[in-house]
Structure 1
């Protein structure tokens, strides 16, 4: 999830009471219209994403003139501030929440009704489910694809990757090596840095087994994925180190011809990509099984009154399934993500008609569904911190083949302790 800086004035005002920051109309949460209660809605995002969400809110208010929605845009430390507001009794009526963070928040939300048949992707339909109960209604998918410089493939004597069929992970690595040349500051790379968590899934591995009872990142697939990432940033590798790209936008490296492929390319980059020369740059599927997909949903907090809950349910359903909202998720100026209902996919692809936005849709449809794991955020944060400090995936120098089985054992002990 994107986190950006926030001014002190906004932090102080919203921290004092997330649910009490007034909207442009002066309405406050709990005020009742003619037939329904007003609600507050907390969410994060960039300036452009905030504009998109406000347009969606406006569309809802137009369709439901008896319900006022107070937008509470939190520009940094979203989850921390949301947690603080919930603990302090100032929770918003509705809160945006990522499926990756829901396991740490679901106890603050009411169970909701999700019409799984409304969505074209099984992974989307299950995104708000925790241990058999739905706690968030999905409203935007954030799948990943790969942006490529077709000229670099052609010059290396390689076929340009298909826009529909993914390269195997082995073929991608071989191509990235072949497209790398030079040394030092003048080196050009076959790929931007790989994200271990994403590459693990793409290359056939996983954090957990199918039912979420066993940690599996230290098995053969996990070690293979880690070694690929480590080898990629060696002096003779095919990707720059994290230090080399720190504070820089690798999208600009792609534009300048310094990297041939940009994996982990999210839909929020669509507007920038649309400005590139379509004869040279293309969007193609992520290699292998693809990377994990984030699905942002809408949760209704437990503190909502009966009247607010009714309004919140109407709001969540509209944002999730009504084309009047879903059609607004992407435009030529900004893209929040991929619609979760099929009727809005044409509007999504029209935001950049020369780009292969179907690749994002295909990635939503084929996304790997991960199991529910209690304390998932804490477990994976502990693992990632140790992996980065001990191996060249981060700042360490230990062999992943030694480190990963140890970290898997630590993961398993933390997982067992949640039962």
Structure 2
């Protein structure tokens, strides 16, 4: 079967699935309303969302929510459904993708007082209008093997105060051991994250300019590239290919694992708390994804009202927010203060407050049209040209060129 035929079949299949779950509106029976809810995620994340939906339906028996779990190519399938007039009533959407979908969503009222994080409060707002209701945050922390710090006569990082990027690099080099059983100071670094950590940014705060080619962007690229060289402090690209860095951390093969997300909480909770710890990301942290709920513009009045009730419940009711994480699965960090204690109680011996702090202190991500396409082209450029990936060119030369190309794409998107 040709590639085009396979793609056509996949799109047709996704349309059938989305159509089957589209909102049917009021059924005429006692004011009951049916809405559809599209979302992504792995098995555990989907189970968490279904549990939140079940809590909603228990609280609101007059509203039936038909869950539509889309596995793979979520945004493409969502876009196809919207274009075909078969949009789900409510769709999960990340804050970085919202600008590309905002025209398909109704403006919504968002009570920003619900949220303890300024970054979360702004996540659904594009151009001064709220098009989605934030309901889960995915702040990043760093996981460490404390026994490796002790063995290297290094102080264990603070559970509350971030290391400086310079201290991180210094410690990572000292923690790297090549004689005997090889140990690396850190798991591979993510450029986009390290860019924020050193005080740089992908875009200017207003989202109109690309900024990775300035001094901070070049510095971040150099750190990431040098770290992955054969004499660096992270596994090389070849060594890390297909490997589970979380298992390497558990096995004592790496001392620090930046870019540690809340979805890893169940795995971390199973580790020995006397040997492993959660601490803040170095410097200014990493970009935080905020997932929100958009309501279809073409929803009927009854569907829209039911969808508003659903979105409000998911984003601000402890009955939903308290289900955000468990020892079996974790979708993200709750966004309301009232559910923080329930979140931390999931693994009381783990410093889950670090995740909450990461959400509280996150640098807001500017809303940019065609973000994913721009980011993909940029990362491909520095991956192929510098030692961040498989290349050998100087980041000081490459990053300003990437910024210029990024700016061209950004300007075209805003025309």
Q: TM-score, normalised by structure 1?
A: 0.94
Which position in structure 1 is the counterpart of 2:77?
A: 81
Instruction: Choose from 237, 247, 254 the match for 1:242.
Output: 237
Q: CA deviation at 1:395?
A: 1.6
Give the SS at the match of 2:375. helix
Which position in structure 1 is the counterpart of 2:183?
A: 188
Give the SS at the match of 2:31. coil
Which position in structure 1 is the counterpart of 2:6?
A: none
Query: Could you say what the CA RMSD is over the residues aligned between the two structures, in angstroms?
Result: 1.8
> Would you say how many aligned residue pairs link Structure 1 and Structure 2?
406
Tell me which moved more, 199-208 or 408-417: 408-417
Which position in structure 2 is the counterpart of 1:106?
A: 102
1:400 & 1:246 partners in 2: Cα distance? Answer: 23
1:163 & 1:85 partners in 2: Cα distance? Answer: 45
Which position in structure 2 is the counterpart of 1:254?
A: 249
**Structure 2: runs of 5+ lacking an equivalent:** 1-8
Give the SS at the match of 1:190. strand
2:68 & 2:24 partners in 1: Cα distance? Answer: 11
Which position in structure 2 is the counterpart of 1:307?
A: 302
1:14 & 1:69 partners in 2: Cα distance? Answer: 19
Which position in structure 1 is the counterpart of 2:25?
A: 30
**Structure 1: runs of 5+ lacking an equivalent:** 1-8, 23-27
Give the SS at the match of 2:184. coil
1:18 & 1:253 partners in 2: Cα distance? Answer: 39
Q: CA deviation at 1:10?
A: 9.9
Instruction: Choose from 107, 113, 117 the match for 1:121.
Output: 117
Which position in structure 2 is the counterpart of 1:4?
A: none
Give the SS at the match of 2:331. coil
Which position in structure 2 is the counterpart of 1:383?
A: 378
Q: CA deviation at 1:186?
A: 4.8
Which position in structure 1 is the counterpart of 2:204?
A: 209
Which position in structure 2 is the counterpart of 1:5?
A: none
1:14 & 1:389 partners in 2: Cα distance? Answer: 33
Which position in structure 1 is the counterpart of 2:227?
A: 232
Q: CA deviation at 1:80?
A: 1.1
Matched, 1:91 2:87: yes
Q: CA deviation at 1:242?
A: 2.7
Matched, 1:144 2:134: no
1:145 & 1:72 partners in 2: Cα distance? Answer: 31
Structure 1 segment 265-304 matched on structure 2, within 5 A: 265-304=260-299
Instruction: Choose from 66, 69, 74 the match for 2:65.
Output: 69
